[in-house]
Every structure is written in structure tokens, then in C-alpha cells.
Chain A
Amino acid sequence: MTSRSLSRRTLLKGTGAVTIGLPLLEEMLRPSPVSAKDSRPEIPVRAFNVFFGLGIPAPLQTEGFDGVLEPLKPLSGKLLIMRNVDQVRCDRNGINAHYDGSAGAFTAEPPDGEAKSGGPSIDQVIRRSCYPQGLPSGMVPTLVAGTFFRRSRVSRYIHSFNADGTVAGTMQETPRDLFDRVFGTVNLPDSAANPEEARRRRIRRSVLDSVVTQYRFYSGRNSPLGAASRARVTEHLDRIREYEQRAFAMRHDNKSPQLPPRSAVLHGGQADPGGQGIDITLDDLTTEWRLLADLYALAIQTDRVRFGSITFLAAGERIRLTGMYEFGGRTIWEFNDARQLNASGDQGCSHEWWHRFREKNQNEQLRAHAHLKMRELAYFLSRLDGPESVEANGRTILENSLFTISTESGDGRHNDVRRELSSVFHAITSAGGRFKTGQIMDVGAEGLDLYNTMLEAMDVSTSLGPKKRDRRAIDSIRA
């Protein structure tokens, strides 16, 4: 079989409504310097969390690129794959284990509510540390996006969290949503051509000034609000400023990519009918995901985004997948979950293969699903590793940035929390040469120590987890 690798250009053009010409793309992809300290443009600090649902059972992780990790092989030189990362700390009594593991990905802390993590995610810690005064204007501070079909709890699919544990951005679920969030502009009438419009524009500016003044008071030093509320109002003020930037400051031209087509697959509540799962074809799933992944990658390439998270299938995912899965010229598996499970509803979903995982068995269906997940993650990562992603230092965005790939489970049966969370798959990129790559490493460390080591390597002084805790530096991952 052929890997159904879609060229972004082909895909974007093929969808009909999107027409990004190559010259334009080249212009947009030119990296923008973030500092004028010297004549050489600096490479911006970036950190992204990449999540996939249901995990990779620990025994399958030991098979290296001969097993389900095969699709990552072309990127193996750019990745440090880490096994035996212990996230048992994230277990919380009486709470669904998918949710525990998912909320702990990138935070290494147990959840603190259905839509709240126990601490910040690493991308946000880095963002706050490296850009304490905020990101350059016009940027989306945190881009959260994903293709997923399980939504009972927010932490199943959102993977960027603020310091107070609340979500750091609204999920952009469809390519159109993501497009609007990154490339959308606020359409105000052209003032240059019409004096009356110029006048209205001035008044509107005055309205916004008044609103900003009020938000500034409630987020400022004399605010009567407590810390959590003040942070929320500050976030609101930041978004108003972004709105202001788009409405009054950004150059309006016709060079932005055009609106992508409407999604063909279900979204919103329809995409998760009460946990009962949905029927979806492999083609629909990957087409939707790849368009989203393309736009996310484009947002990074055009330097509109430096932090955030992207999700390919949520924790405890429930889909009934059908379709022939081919890779590298061979047929991997023909998906037909409901028929192969001989069940409907939630019991006919791919999720069940993880329940049925037994180390001694072939686990063909699970392997195929996990393989597919790796192929799609590789698709996204490779978008940032091509010639158009080469930066001033000669490395690609993938190499210069910190991409952390994680999931919810290291076991595969997720009925034993200790086992499930004791060997969670992780992979990272080199982040500009800070971390070793080209290895598969048994780190044998707690997630909290791993993440804190990563933060330290990123020159971030803030650390995750309880203050009264003996820390262990995982120096083996550092270059």
C-alpha cells in the first residue's frame, strides 16, 4: 500500500475553497525575528504538546520502530523516544482513569476538577517564563486544537493549562475554527475611502478604550478581585488587546489563506453521543485531521503561534473505525471495529481493543490503531521539518522547538491505574539542541522529574509539582 501521505498544498488546493499560492506561502513562511539584539535573527522559543488517546501498551513500546512506532522512523533522528515514564502520581481516587492520565499528560499532576488540571502544562510554564510581558502583538498566545470524538470531560482533549489549572485556550475543533482563530481578522469598514467610516472608526476606538480601561482596573494592582479572578480578567484584557490588534492595527490585505471548507465529519456534541461513539471512515478521519494539522503547522510557520497543544483523538476515544489501512506499500489492517467486536454503541468502539490487550496475544487491532496514530502524528511533525520550515540557524522548526508527545496510558488495559500510568509513552524533539535525539531511552523516571528537567533545560526557573519534594534531575535526556 502507499502511505496516504497528503501534500499540504495538494490537500489545501484539493479542498476547493483554500487557495494558498506558493509565492504567498513562501512570503508567509519567512520567519520573523523576535529580537533586534544583534543582526542575526533569533530563533523564537516555542513549545507544543502533542497528545494522542489511549496510549501505547508498554510491551509494544519495547519493539522500537519494528512495531507500532514504525511511522515515526523517518523522524527518529529528530526525536528522543522515552519509555518508562511514571505518571502514577496523577491517579486520583474515584476518578475515571482515562481522565487521570489525560489530565496528567504535560502537567504530571492529578486533576483538580473535571475541567481543571492540578497544575500548569509545560508549554504554558515556558510561555510565561520566556514571554513574561506577553507574546509579540498579533500572535495567538496559546493555540489549542484537535480532532477528537470524546468530550465528556474537557481534560480528555485539551492539553494546555494555565498556572491555576484552568484551560489555556479554547479548543479549535474544526479546520475552520482554527483558521479563524489564527488568520481571521475583524472586518471593519475601510476608513480610508469614506470619511464617515473614519469617524465611526474613531468612535469605536473610543468605545474599546473605555472597555480596556475598565478591564485594566480589574486586572491591576488596585483590583478588588482575588488572584484567580484577576488572572481571568487579565486573560480577558489580553484577548481584547488581540481583538484590538486585529480590528485596528493589522494590515488587511488579500494575502491571508482563504477559509477552508466546512468539515465533513461530526463535531460538537454530535461527535460524542453520550459516550456511545460514532461511525467514521479512515479516510474521513485522516482528511479532517490532516487539514487541521496543516493549518496548525502553517500557524507555526508563519509565526502566529509559539505555544499550545494539538490532539489526535481524545483520552478514552470512542470511534467505530472502518477502512483499509495501508502503510509503506503493505496492508496493515482493515478496520471495522464494530463488526470485529461484534457489538454496537460504545462496546463496538476501538477503545475496547485497549481493554482486551493481553501481552501474550497478537493484539492486531490495537496494534493497527496505535500504528495509525503514530502515522498521523508523524504527518503533523513532518510538516514542520521540510524545506519551508528551515530557520536562520539552518535547522527546521521541528528541531528548534520543543514538541512533547504524550498520551494517557502506558498499559493498554486501563483498569489498573498503577500499571496503566507507570509506563507512559513520551517523545520530545531537541528544542534547539537542548535534548538528545535519535534514541529510544528507558528513562525510568517520574513524569514530574522528567518535565522539570525539560523546563530547566529550557532555562525556566519555575518547576512543577509540590514544593516539598525531593527532585531528581534526568540528565540522561540532556544533550
Chain B
Amino acid sequence: MSKTPGGMVRGLTLIVSVALLNLNSASRAADDPPAASRTRSGLLALYEFGASTGPVVKDTAGVDEPLNLLIENEQAVRRTDGSLEVRGKTLIRTAQPPARLIKAVQRSGEITIETWIRSRDTTQAGPARIVTLSQNPTERNFTLGQEGDRFEVRLRTTRTSRNGLPALDSGRGHAGTRPTHLVYTRDRTGRTFLHVDGRQIAHGSAEGETSNWASDCRLALANELSKDRPWLGTFYLVAIYDRALQPQEIAQHFAAGSSAATPPALAPGDDRFFLARIAPLLAEHCLECHDPGSRQGGLDLSRKVTALAGGDTGRAIIPGKPAESLLWQQVTSGEMPQDRPPLPDDVKQALREWIAAGAVWPLDVIDPSLYVLDGQKKQRWLQRLTVPEYIETVRSAVKVDVTQEARELLPKDLRADGFSNTAYNLNIDLDHVEAYAKLAETIVGRMDVKTFAARFSEDSRLSADRMRPLIEGMGKHLLRGPLTGEETASFLQISETVSATGGDAEQAVSYILEAMLQSPRFIYRMEDQSDGGIPRPVSEYELASRLSYILWGGPPDEELMRAADEGRLSGRLEAQARRMLRDPRAIARSRQFVHEWLNLDRLENLQPDSKHFPQWDPRLAADMRAETLDFFEEHAWRRKRPLAELFNAQFTVATPRLASHYGLEPQDDGPALYDLSEVPDRGGLLTHGSVLTIGGDHASMVTRGLFVLNHVLRGRVNAPPACVDTTPVPTEPGLSQRRIAEIRLADSSCAGCHRRFEPLAFSLERFDGIGAWHRRDQHGNDLRQNGEILFPGAEKAVTYETTAELANLLADSPRVSETITWKLAQFSLGRPLMAGDLPELNAIHETARTNGGTYAAVMTALLTSELVRMSRTESQP
């Protein structure tokens, strides 16, 4: 593992991923049927290693003349039901040349060699023969082997050598010691592909015919026929087909997995055990009273150092000795959690086992905000296009603007967990289906169908062989990736119906386009989730869509699709990110983010009480929203400043009406840039009307403070304790909002939580419910700006004297910049963040910080991260 901070984090990511895989494989096996099955079409030989003893490996393909294999040295192998581990040199081969197999491939010109294996190490070479159909070290029909940390495949054709050279090389790093799904395909045209764990990792060509295959080769595993190229490791499955499996089939096979490859269970002394079991337990049940801010009984369980140090009554955790650990004693007796139901027995047991195993604690600090929604970790929803994404997708794909119609017809996407693109809440109802049908008709009606179709095929005749390439071209463009044969066939049926009813080609294309615009692959960001519980690199086309929707809120452009076609996208992510950030769509998408983060939709319905605010002009609400969005664009895109400086940037962009409302001298007829460096009380995001109005008519310090705590500092507080009257207290002469808050904070039953958030709003006391600035309230009470801020996880509060000082504290706070990164990550991923994301989030943030902390830096770090490059399994947090 690298010793750099980033490297450390990346190393941890792997650990976490494996941990979660392990944890969830077991539960998945118990709860869920396999998500995918294997195809048998074209199957020539199949070895599933079902017998646990004996010298024969049976061919279970179920076709005539099974090609059973004989183990020459039984002592060199260990067999279980579902695997065969080759521990020493041996040869596992057919007794005779497999004539049936050889003839089939000679005929078809296609082949697939599929294996589920685990290599013993990455030093084996020769290449070490994993599967071979050969005569000797230099003559073969094919060989799939391992050369260090690479895989290599040799195939004889009329254009390659008798040794099967040139070989197809996987490139470095693909052969490893974990269970690996490895598939080689060669199609009739000579194209060769290598897939590892469902993802294509190399391609090449082996042109010519297979008609020259030697008939006297034997099929063998784990060695060359000459017995001088041994391979050591475990076989779970080997299959050979007389056709080239399609990528979707390969992914499906990967998803179907091999039950014998299930990794071992977690051990309580493992880092992973803490991350998966103990950290959530402490976050959920203990930190409410035992974090740095509360420290009840002098105990802080959020950090390793303080947790092991213990509290006022002694050591809470004594590694290796649960019976002597106060934490265990109090949990097992039911004393803790105090005033809460006792922990379930299995949770208690995990705690005891963890302490007994040495109380391994790999984290610096436990952040409880990550565990709030951990119940969702077993679920993974595909993302339906949100209304803005649908509009942009149509605009980009077919150059038709349906903004008005889509906003009118499609149900509004509702906000959940801070954003309205949260996938689990992007549900579907009849209204959607009707809208998609109607919109498809509208869109196609506005298209120049003939010109559009000409982009993909110049042949406009209405016959199946002419329509097929057109459908494939249009489909790949609209559905963001190549069509399967079945999809093409389903679209072809439409053209056949049009033809049968006397229609012409243009009509056929129109209706096919309507169908495509209603396809699940258009409406949803469809990804292959059949990962068998193992995180995998997403495919090139999936990656193209992820990049474009994250950065643009729309579909991949031609450059992204071209890169995906050529399999070079995953290797050039940073360059693509830089290119994409120059596109105006990136700016529009970032404005959507700000709109959602700050819930600016709220301003559409702002209705301040006219008695309190007779000067309120309803148009100010729109001005306030525009101010915040334009301010962000100026800050992030034109000035390219760090995002944390949104909180103390000394300028704004306001309409004359809003400038007057703020007490600024209007400078122009329209929105204009205002320098606020000489305006001490206003500057930064928190002084925007869009944010200040969150406090309602009464400029509630509680509401404003909670906003800062939750959305800027990523903090949490609990519900009010018992017997506290939460009725808001009205202001009066001698009793300002501040004074009311101070009285509240003097009450010990309130202060524990209120000190975490209410002082955050003290600096905003001079701004009323509609964001106007005053020195005194309506009763003549003096209004102040000083206060203190307790950053989540910190022990002591930091004081400030002015609004500007608080703004500077926020802008300089690592917690704030980190929160912005997290918010961007959540919006980009379309799901709440989970504990399992933590290592990668930290790595993203660190990379972004190193590169200036700008919007571009954060998004580039995010796009090149594993959160984007890797799939998230159904059961992975």
C-alpha cells in the first residue's frame, strides 16, 4: 500500500469494498436468488468441478460425447464440491483429441473460452497454461495462460502462426489472486476480446479462418501437454462455446458467478469488521451522548484515542477483555444506551467479539452523518431521468426543445434526502407513462426525421436488411450504447407493421423513434447491476453516461461515445473531464446543483406576511434565486475560486430591485456585479436573501442555525428532549431573538443540542425574515452579530465578533469544504452517501483540495474516482 495519504485511503477503499462484499455475499446467498443465469447456446464443454473426489473432471455441458478430463496426479490437487485447487504440478486432460469441439469451431469460426479461476500468485509464467487445446509448447489451436500479472490468449487461424501468435494480451494488473471471471471471444470477422469480471479489458484481431485447426490437439487444464508450463491455482468453472458470447451475456455470466468463489466471512479482529459492524453501532447508539460536544461521563466514543482512554468512571474499552470493559458491562446489563431500548443480542455479541479480538479501530473519527441511512445500503436503484435531464437528453439527442411540454406533462420530481434526483424516490406512475408517450409523439413530430435518419444510414428503403443498420445506428445514439439483437428485432417489428399497412420508410423511422424515446434505456440510465456481489469497473458505455449525466445532466456526446467504442474512455478520464468542463452544459448543471443544495425551489412559494413586510415585492423572490445562481457561476466559473470561499466572497450579482432591498446603490438596469468589500455586513452565501428567508417571517435562529448545521457543516442534532416547551417565544421590547436564544442556551436541557446550531445564526440576527438589514428590531431592541461556532466533531467552540468573521471561519473550515464535496458527490451519484463511501470521499476531497478546491477540481476528482468508475453492488453500502 502506498504511504501517501491518498494511497492510504485508496488502500482502505479496497479493504472496505472487500469487507462489504464479504459481508453481503453471505446475506445475499441467504436472501436472494441468483440475479442472472448462464446461456447454454453454443456450449461445447462445461466443467463445474462438482465432484469432491476422484480422478475425473466431468464435462457437464449435456451434449453428446462428453469431454471428460483426467487428473494425472491426484495428489497435486484438492477437490471440493465446486472447485478444484491445483496445488502442485499436474496435467488435467482429455483422453483423446476432442474432435467434436475442434470440428465445431472449424465450422463456426467463432469461439468463447470462459473461466472462473483464482491464481495462486502473479509470478507464474510461460505462459502458465490455464486452459489449452494443444499438442506441445509450440503447436496449438488455442491456449489461455497467465504471464505474471497478465493474461495471454493464443489462437491458431489461417492468418496466425501454429503457435497462435500474435497473442491477445490483457495488459498488466489483470491477473491476480482473487476469484476472477475471464472470458476470451473471437468472432467470425476475427475480432478478439478479453473480458475480466464482466468488463472488456482488451481487444485485438486474429483474422483468417479456423479451418486449419489441428485435429490431434488435446484439451487440457493447468499445464501444457508437455507438462512444462504448469499453472497453480483454483478452477471454479471452465466453459467453451462455438460462438462469441456477446458482452451482455458475458456480464450475465459474471453476475451468475460461481458459488464456490464466495469469499470467507468477516473476522472480529479485522478492520472490516469495525467498519461494517462496530462503527455503525457506535454512531447509532452511543455518539448521541458520547461525542466531543457532549462527552457525557467524560467519554468520547467518536475517536480511537478518546474511546480507549475512557471516561470519568474508568476505561470503557480494554482490548481483549470485554468482561473488564465498562462499555461491554453497561451494554450487556442494559444500562446503555440510556433511556433507549437495549441493543439486540446479535449487536451485543458483535461488540463483545470485537473487544475480545483486540478492539481494532482503523478510523480516525466516526462521522455519524454517514450512518443515518445505512438501512438503504442493500438497495440500489437505477436512475430515471429527472425532468431537467429528460429535457436536456432530448435536446442533445435530437435537437428538439420540449422544456415547456415536459414541465407541463411530467410529474414533478420530489425532493428526498436533500436532492430531487435521489434515485429511490424517482418512482413511476401512470402519469409518467402517458407523458412519455405524448412527449415522444411531440418530439418526433418536430423532428426532421429524414435528415436525422440520414446521419445513420443513407439507404432509406423499407426492408429489414436496410432498416437493421439504421435501427442499430439510431438506437446506439438515442439509447447511449449498442443495441442487443433482441432490441433491434423489437424495433424492426414496428417497421414491418408499417410496411404491412402500406406505410413508407419515413413513417417507419418516425414510429421507431417514438418507441426508442419510450424505451427503458432512454427513460432510465440503465446499467448492468448483475455483479454477483462483486464491485466491478463499469463498462465503457456506462462510464460515458455516468460522466455526461454527472457533469452535463445530459447524454454522452459523440466524442464520449467514440472513446467508449474504442475502449479508451476509462484510461483517459481526466482528459475527458477537462474537455467536458469547457462545455456550457457543465455550467448549467452546476447551477442545478446549487439550486438543489440550497432548495431554491422554496423561493417560488415565498409568501411573507404582508403585515410584517409591507415593502415586500413578490418579484424579489426570483431576484434572490437569480442572485445565488449568478453569484455561484461568477465565483466558480469565471473567478475559478475555491468553493469554500462561497461563504466569504466579497461580491454579489443583483438586480436593481434586490440591490435596493439590500441597501446597495443600484448600478444598472439589469443584474450587475456588486463589490461588497466595503460593505462589512453583507458578503458570502449566508447573507443572500435566498438563504436568509429560510428562517421564515420571524427570522428563526433555530431554523437558520439548523440549515447551517445540516447543509453547510454536515452535522446532526437529536429531537428536543422531554418536557421542553418548544413553542417559539415571540420578541418584545427588551427581548430580542438573541436574548430568547441566550435564555434557551442557559437551560441545560436545551443547551446540549442548541449550542451546536443556534449560535451559527447569531451573526445573521441583523437580517430580518426577508433578508433586509437592520440595527434594531421592530421593538427597538439592539441586534448583534457576534457568536460562536462549534464545528461538528470539535470539542470547543470558536468565537466570532461579526458576520464577516463567521464567513471567514466557514470559508477556512475543512469541514465546510468537505461538506461541499460530499454534497456534490451525493448530487452526482443520485443517492445518499453511506459509510462505505467514506474512504473514496476522503480521497476525492483530498485530491480536489490539492488542486485548488474549485468546482472543476472537485468534479474532476469525483469523475476519476472509484465512486464513478466502479459499480456498486446491490448489497454494498
User: Are A and B bound to each other?
Assistant: yes
Q: A96 CA to B718 CA in the complex, in Å?
A: 8
User: A218–B346 contact, CB under 8 A?
Assistant: no
Residue of B nearest to A417 (CB): B719
CB distance from A359 to the nearest CB of B (A): 13
Stretch in contact with the other chain, from B53-61, B319-327, B648-656, B726-734? B726-734
Q: Which of A198-238 contact B (CB under 8 A)?
A: 199, 202-204, 206-207, 209-211, 213-215, 217-218, 221-229, 232-233, 235-236
Q: A300 CA to B430 CA in the complex, in Å?
A: 18
Q: Is A16 an interface residue (CB 8 A)?
A: no
A274 in complex: contacting residue of B380, B696, B725, CB < 8 Å:
B696
Q: Which of B365-410 contact A (CB under 8 A)?
A: 368, 372-373, 375-376, 379-382, 384
Residue among A96, A114, A153 with the most chain B CB within 10 A? A114
B373 in complex: contacting residue of A112, A202, A343, CB < 8 Å:
A112
User: A166–B425 contact, CB under 8 A?
Assistant: yes
User: A228–B605 contact, CB under 8 A?
Assistant: no
Q: A415 CA to B382 CA in the complex, in Å?
A: 38
Q: Which residues of B contact A233 (CB under 8 A)?
A: 382, 520, 524
Bitwise, A166-188 to B at CB < 8 A (1) or not (0) is 11011000000000010000100
Q: Which residues of B contact A62 (CB under 8 A)?
A: none
User: A203–B501 contact, CB under 8 A?
Assistant: yes
User: B493–A210 contact, CB under 8 A?
Assistant: yes
Q: A5 CA to B590 CA in the complex, in Å?
A: 52
Residue of A nearest to B769 (CB): A345
Q: A204 CA to B432 CA in the complex, in Å?
A: 18
Residue of B nearest to A344 (CB): B609
User: A222–B37 contact, CB under 8 A?
Assistant: yes
Stretch in contact with the other chain, from A252-260, A265-273, A363-371? A265-273
User: B721–A215 contact, CB under 8 A?
Assistant: no
Stretch in contact with the other chain, from B15-23, B76-84, B248-256, B545-553? B248-256
Check A415/B372 contact, CB under 8 A, given A154-B416, A346-B696.
Answer: no
Q: Is A118 an interface residue (CB 8 A)?
A: yes
User: A206–B730 contact, CB under 8 A?
Assistant: no
CB distance from B425 to the nearest CB of A (A): 4
User: A112–B414 contact, CB under 8 A?
Assistant: no
Q: Is B788 an interface residue (CB 8 A)?
A: no
CB distance from A198 to the nearest CB of B (A): 9
User: A270–B605 contact, CB under 8 A?
Assistant: yes
Residue among B381, B412, B433, B524 with the most chain A CB within 10 A? B433
CB distance from B257 to the nearest CB of A (A): 13
Q: Which residues of B contact A273 (CB under 8 A)?
A: 602, 605-607
User: A232–B427 contact, CB under 8 A?
Assistant: yes
Q: Which residues of B contact A343 (CB under 8 A)?
A: 728, 730
Q: Is B623 an interface residue (CB 8 A)?
A: no
User: A217–B381 contact, CB under 8 A?
Assistant: no
User: B375–A94 contact, CB under 8 A?
Assistant: no
Q: Which residues of A contact B432 (CB under 8 A)?
A: 236, 239
B344 in complex: contacting residue of A140, A153, A278, A468, CB < 8 Å:
A468
Bitwise, A396-420 to B at CB < 8 A (1) or not (0) is 0000000000000000010111110
User: A344–B605 contact, CB under 8 A?
Assistant: no
User: A345–B429 contact, CB under 8 A?
Assistant: no
Q: A344 CA to B610 CA in the complex, in Å?
A: 10
Residue of A nearest to B609 (CB): A344
User: A239–B433 contact, CB under 8 A?
Assistant: yes
Q: A222 CA to B429 CA in the complex, in Å?
A: 24
Q: A380 CA to B738 CA in the complex, in Å?
A: 47
A347 in complex: contacting residue of B36, B606, B728, CB < 8 Å:
B728
Residue among A223, A269, A272, A276 with the most chain B CB within 10 A? A276
Q: Which residues of A contact B722 (CB under 8 A)?
A: 415-416, 418-419
A217 in complex: contacting residue of B344, B486, B518, B724, CB < 8 Å:
B486
| A-B residue pairs in contact (CB < 8 Å), sample of 9 | A112-B375, A115-B425, A224-B528, A232-B381, A275-B696, A415-B720, A415-B726, A416-B720, A419-B722
Q: A115 CA to B694 CA in the complex, in Å?
A: 21
User: B602–A416 contact, CB under 8 A?
Assistant: no
User: B427–A114 contact, CB under 8 A?
Assistant: no
Q: A6 CA to B638 CA in the complex, in Å?
A: 62
Q: Which residues of B contact A213 (CB under 8 A)?
A: 486, 490
Q: Is B521 an interface residue (CB 8 A)?
A: yes
Per DSSP, chain B at the interface is loop
Residue among A202, A214, A222 with the most chain B CB within 10 A? A214
User: A210–B515 contact, CB under 8 A?
Assistant: yes
Q: Which residues of A contact B609 (CB under 8 A)?
A: 344-345
Q: Is A352 an interface residue (CB 8 A)?
A: yes
User: B501–A236 contact, CB under 8 A?
Assistant: no
User: B372–A227 contact, CB under 8 A?
Assistant: no
Q: Which residues of A contact B529 (CB under 8 A)?
A: 224-226, 229
Q: Which residues of B contact A165 (CB under 8 A)?
A: 424
Q: Is B839 an interface residue (CB 8 A)?
A: no
Q: Which residues of B contact A97 (CB under 8 A)?
A: 719
Residue among A94, A235, A268 with the most chain B CB within 10 A? A94
Q: A419 CA to B37 CA in the complex, in Å?
A: 51
Q: Is A93 an interface residue (CB 8 A)?
A: yes
Q: Is B645 an interface residue (CB 8 A)?
A: no
Q: A207 CA to B497 CA in the complex, in Å?
A: 9
User: B417–A115 contact, CB under 8 A?
Assistant: yes
Q: Which residues of A contact B384 (CB under 8 A)?
A: 232
Q: Which residues of A contact B430 (CB under 8 A)?
A: 140, 170, 181, 239, 242-243
Bitwise, B578-612 to A at CB < 8 A (1) or not (0) is 00000000000000000000000110111101011
Q: A243 CA to B490 CA in the complex, in Å?
A: 20
User: A96–B719 contact, CB under 8 A?
Assistant: yes
Q: Which residues of A contact B769 (CB under 8 A)?
A: 345
Q: Which residues of B contact A243 (CB under 8 A)?
A: 430, 433-434, 437
Residue of A nearest to B716 (CB): A94
Q: Is B775 an interface residue (CB 8 A)?
A: no
Q: Is A24 an interface residue (CB 8 A)?
A: no
Q: Which residues of B contact A167 (CB under 8 A)?
A: 425, 427
Q: Is B503 an interface residue (CB 8 A)?
A: yes
